Every structure is written in structure tokens, then in C-alpha cells.
Structure 1
Amino acid sequence: MKKTNIDFDYPDRSFHFSAREVFGHYTMLSNHFHDQYEIYYLLSGERHYFIKDRIFHVKSGTLVLINRQDVHRTTDADTQDHVRVLLNFSKDYLLSSPYVIALLDGLFMNNNYVIPFLSAEQQYVEVLLDKMIHEIEHQSTGFQVALQALLMDLLVYTSRYIESNRHDVLAPPSQVHEKISQIVQYINTNYQTPLTLSSVAQNFFVSQYYLSRTFKQATGFTFVEYINNIRIREAQRLLRETNHKVIDISEAVGFGSISHFGRVFKEVTRFSPLNYRRLNTE
């Protein structure tokens, strides 16, 4: 696969494609969760990848699947330089037949996450990605349809590869930060309660210094950043799906004051809670 730097978006944000060669230190932006599916392919180099409540060591030739609304972030591994391809697509981007929905659910909702392809399979995947780059660069008649077809080919190929190699193919989570994974699971379950660095460290019999330093190292988030992400993600859902008052939602997701909630919500989403609700319920 050729190395290139490219960024492409549909105006309605239903599809995004990015190929990028990165030199030196790089960490994804904070507050990273979204309502699109994500496919990440590492062409060269290595990365640490935090997904939901687990940490993976990702090497070249590996495909990563991120479900909608899963908090995730990449951080540096031993080799900082890397080349990666990133695809995001909305739930409605592909034809919403029951067969497509079943395929997406099977891939993104079964904790497959990280798939290290063997050499021959890497070549097939990279040819598909090269074809997508070609379509984006040339934008010939029907390129939008071609992109959908190539994405569908990639999804079907990956699904079959997982099904045929399930016991051999899926990368296990890193054991180095097993304690942090347990703490993340605890936060994911108890975000609506008062959580402090001190109380969580005490619950897991570690020092505050160890928790603060190791949490950031393993996940790419500070302890407070991560809790805020989880609380705001749930607040977004409640704003979209219920008629609850903003102050009630603030309390339900664990914020002690409405002013603090409003400030953090805007930092994460760029909108006030009321504006977010208005934009997402019209």
C-alpha cells in the first residue's frame, strides 16, 4: 500500500477517510467518542490502543474495530513513527438492510476490537484501502458508490476472517495494565456516584500517585478526563432520548453542580446542553 496523507469527509459527516504518516510523539485528542463506527488500520509502526475498558498493543498489519460511542484513544508505544488509515461511517451510510445490520452488529458489538491479519490477508486489506484512496483522489463518476462497495467488501472480508480464525486471530488485551482495566470497568459502572482519585485508589489498594500516573500512561486520559467523558456521553444520551430537565440529568450522571456540568459539557461537545438537545432532537 502506498504511503500518503489524505483527509476526506462527506458534507453530512456520514463518511470519513484519513490516511496519515506520523513522525515522533502523537496522542489522539481527548474526549474521543462519537456516533460513527470506526475502523483503524495500522500500516506500519506500533501503538497502544485503549478501547472502552481494555488496553491493546497494536502492531503493523492490525485492524481495529471501534463501536459507536465507545471511548477510545491511541498513545505512543516503543516505536513512535507510524502510518495509519482511519475510516468513520454513520449507521445509515450503508444500505440498512437486515443483512447489513446483522453484519455490523457481529463485527462491532461482539468485542472483536483488534484483529492482527496474517501477511496474505494484510495484502488484501491494503489493496482495498488503496482502491479507496484512488477513488477519493480521482472522484470519477460514481466514486461514492465505489467507496460504499469497497467498505462493504472490507467488512465482509473481516467478518469471514474472524469467523474462520476466531481462536487464533483476536489479539488479547495487554496484561501489563490489568489493574487499570479493572478500575476503568469500575468507573464505567459507577460514574453516577461521587468518584475521586483518593476514593478509587483506596478501593483498589493503590496509591493516588500510582493511579494518576499509570491511568494516564495506560489509557491516554487523566483520571478526571476519563470520568468526565463517561458522564458526558451518558448525558448526551439522556438529552437525546428523554425529556428530563438539564439539572436532573446533571445529577443523574454524577455532577455535583449544574454550573460544573454545563462547563464540562461544553468543553467536550462544543455545545451547551440545551443547544445539544435542540440540534439532536429536531
Structure 2
Amino acid sequence: MNNFEIPILFDEKIFYEFNNSDRFLSLSYNKIAGSKRMFVPHFHTFYEVYYLKEGSANYLIEGELLSVKAGDVLLIKPYLLHKTLYPDSSKNVRYLISFNEAYFNYLPEDDISWFLQIFRQSCPIIRLDTDTKRKWDQKLQIIKMEAKEKRSGYNFRIHSIMQELFLTINDKDNSKPIINQNLTTTEQKILEVIGYIHSHYEEKLTLQLLAERFYISSYYLSHRFKYITGYTLIEYIQLIRIKKAQELLETTKLRTIDICENCGFGSISQFNRVFKKVCGISPGKYRRTIK
């Protein structure tokens, strides 16, 4: 396992999976009791809808720590670094809905863009009202039953229900994000450092430079950063840069050398080495595999 592989942290209960050529949809369900946290933030190349049915949690999204409660839906777009933290003495029930853009390939391009625009809004949280939350709970339970019984036509019925759920969140206004207030001064400082890295990843970033900028000792920054994120500072910076490089390799025709420079790497050899360490393959091979 390399330094950046994401461990399986919770025993995911996947109750429905659909894979057809390049289209996929996955639904999972989990009960999480007590204090749990993902060891490290992670990102993926598909869309994810996180629905908290019961309980409360904190969600770390690229340097911002948001408070979520039962009935909240979080919209996680591709390449968004995120991590969930569950508080002590808390019983949580949550669903994850994962899908790629190709899942909607049967629709006109304008309709796909119309739906996916909700993932590009500034706030990732949709707070369901009581009636809508009840509908979500009922429809997700029906999907679980259909997936278990596998009666004739069950895939058709499940996908129809999913369209209904997607429409409910597209019709809702995004809530103003609730920033977690129960943070120590040091924790808040670390979050500021994380946010700065996300917006300045293309610049020269070192432990010493960041410590001086945020008026914190390099020793304390190093140790508290690792505790909160699960990564050393350098590992995290490299992860952010590689995350952006993957996105550029997938969505642009930029040359590898240009992507290397745009993402803050000092040399093409360093870029190739770190990319292979994180992704397991070279940038060139990665680009070829996603075409």
C-alpha cells in the first residue's frame, strides 16, 4: 500500500449496484455509533450524494468544517477532498449514492447539465424539510426492498425512484453552510492552513513558509496537521496537486509539462514520481486509461 491509498474505514453495506458499460450507480447504507472519523480525507472521480438519515456529524470539505444534522443532503462533486467526523455518543444512520456523469447518458446533454449544476453551487448542503425527508426515507427503503427481492423489472423501478429523489434535491435551495463553532484556536488555525493550501497549491509551499504565514510553530503545525487530516503537510500538498493534475488530464488537452507547472511541481521528474506514487501509474498512462 502506498502512502496515499484510502483504507476501508467503515463496513459499507452496499445494497444496490448498477454497472452497464461506462454507466454506474451505487447505493450503500450504514449505521455508525460513537466517535468515528475517516482516518484521511479522500476524493473520487464520480459524484456522491451523502444523506444523513439520523444523528449529526461534522464534514471537512477542503478546509471548511461544516455541521450537518438529520435530513441534510451533501453534494460532493468529483475531485472534492472530504472527510466525515462523527461525535462521541452519537448514533448515525447515513446513505451514500454514488454515480458518474455517464449514468445519465440516455438524456439530452442540456438536461444533464441542468441537473449537475447543483453540484457546482457554492454551498454543498441541502436541508430537507420534514415532508421531503419522510419521502426520502420511504423511497430509499423501497429501493432496499426492491434490490433484495429482485422481482422482474426491479432495475427499472429503482432507477425511476432515483430520478424522483434527484428531482427533489434539484428543486431545493442550498442551505447556508453551518460552520462548526466548537473549535479550539489551534484547530481553526489548521483549517485556515488547509484552506490556503487548496487555493495556493500551484505556489511554493513548505512547512516553514506556512508556519510563518499563520504565526504557528512549525513543530506544532506539523503534529496537529497530521492529527486532523491524517497526512503530513507535504503529503497533503502533494495530494492536492495530484488531485488537480488528474482533473486536468481528464478534462483538458494540456501537455503533461504544462500540467506539471500549473499544479506547482518543481520538475517533470518530481511530478511523474509523485503521480505514480499516488495513482500507481504514470500521468501519460492515466490519461490513456480514461479515454
TM-score by length of 1: 0.81
Match of 2:83 in 1: 73
2:143 pairs with 1:143: no
Structure 1 residues 79 and 66, CA, compared in 2 at 3 Å: closer, same or farther?
Answer: farther
Per the TM alignment, residue 31 of structure 1 is displaced from its structure 2 partner at its CA by 6.0
1:171 maps to 2:182? no
The equivalent position to 2:215 in structure 1, one of 184, 189, 205, is 205
User: Do 1:45 and 1:79's aligned partners in 2 also have CA atoms closer than 8 Å?
Assistant: no
Aligned with 2:49 (options 21, 32, 39) = 39
Asked if the contact 2:77–2:119 (Cα under 8 Å) also holds between the matched residues in 1, the reply is yes
Q: Name which of structure 1's ranges 72-81 and 127-136 shifts more when overlaid on structure 2.
A: 72-81
For residue 114 of structure 2, give the secondary structure of its aligned residue in structure 1: helix
Q: Which amino acid aligns with 1:103?
A: F
CA–CA separation in structure 1 for the residues paired with 2:200 and 2:179: 22
Q: Deviations 1:56-100 (Å, cap 9, x if unpaired)?
A: 122333211112221111123234653221011111212433234
* Structure 2 equivalent of residue 223 of structure 1: 233
Q: Distance in 1 between matches of 2:207 and 2:90?
A: 30
Partners in 2 of 1:108 and 1:253 — Cα distance?
23
Q: Are 1:47 and 1:74, in contact at CA under 8 Å, matched by a contact in 2?
A: yes
Q: Is 173-182 or 8-17 further displaced after alignment?
A: 173-182
Q: Separation in 1 of the partners of 2:236 and 2:201? A: 10
Over 3 Å counting, the alpha-carbon distance change for 1:248 and 1:6 in structure 2 is closer
**Could you say which residue in structure 2 is the equivalent of 1:10?**
18
CA–CA distance in structure 2, aligned partners of residues 132 and 217 of structure 1? 38
CA displacement 1:163-201 (0-9 Å, x = unmatched): xxx6xx433222435544433332122212221122112
In structure 2, C-alpha distance between the alignment counterparts of 1:220 and 1:75, rounded to whole Å: 12
Query: Quick one: distance in 2 between partners of 1:44 and 1:267?
Result: 38
Query: How far apart are the structure 2 equivalents of 1:113 and 1:140?
Result: 36
Does the CA contact (< 8 Å) of 1:31 and 1:229 recur in 2?
no
Q: Which moved more, 1:107-116 or 1:205-214?
A: 205-214
Shift of 1:214: 4.4
Structure 1 residue runs of 5 or longer lacking an equivalent are: none
* Contact map agreement 1:63 1:117 (CA 8 A) in 2: yes
- Do the aligned partners of 2:38 and 2:84 also contact (CA within 8 Å) in 1? yes
- CA gap of 1:79–1:232, structure 2 versus 1, over 3 A, is farther
Residue by residue over 1:199-233, the C-alpha shift from the partner in whole angstroms, topping out at 9 and shown as x without a partner, is 11211222224433444555555433331221011
Q: Which residue of 2 aligns with 1:117?
A: 128
Q: In structure 1, how many angstroms separate the alpha carbons of the residues matched to 2:134 and 2:159?
A: 20
TM-score, normalization by structure 2:
0.79
1:58-137 mapped onto 2 (5 Å cutoff): 58-79=68-89, 81-94=91-104, 95-97=106-108, 98-105=110-117, 107-137=118-148
Over aligned residues, Cα RMSD in angstroms? 2.8
Q: Cα–Cα, structure 1 residues 239 and 268, in superposed 2: closer, same or farther, change >3 Å? A: same
- Counterpart of 1:277 (choices 280, 287, 291) is 287
Task: Quote how far apart the aligned CAs of 1:54 are.
Answer: 1.4
- How many Å separate the matches in 1 of 2:32 and 2:76? 21
Q: How many residues align?
A: 271
Distance 2:55 2:236 in 1: 26
Residues 249 and 6 of structure 1: CA distance in aligned 2, closer, same or farther (over 3 Å): closer
1:236 pairs with 2:246: yes
Residues 88-145 of structure 1: CA distance to partner in whole angstroms, max 9, x if unpaired? 111121243323421320x211123123434433212111211222232223333333
- Residue 258 of structure 1 deviates from its aligned partner by 4.5
Percent of aligned positions that are identical: 33
SS at match of 1:261: helix
CA distance in 2, matches of 1:41, 1:237: 26
Which of 53, 56, 60 is equivalent to 2:66?
A: 56
How far apart, in 1, do the equivalents of 2:127 and 2:16 lie?
26
Verify the 8 A CA contact 2:15 2:144 in the aligned structure 1.
Answer: no
Structure 1 partner of 2:4: none
Matched, 1:250 2:260: yes
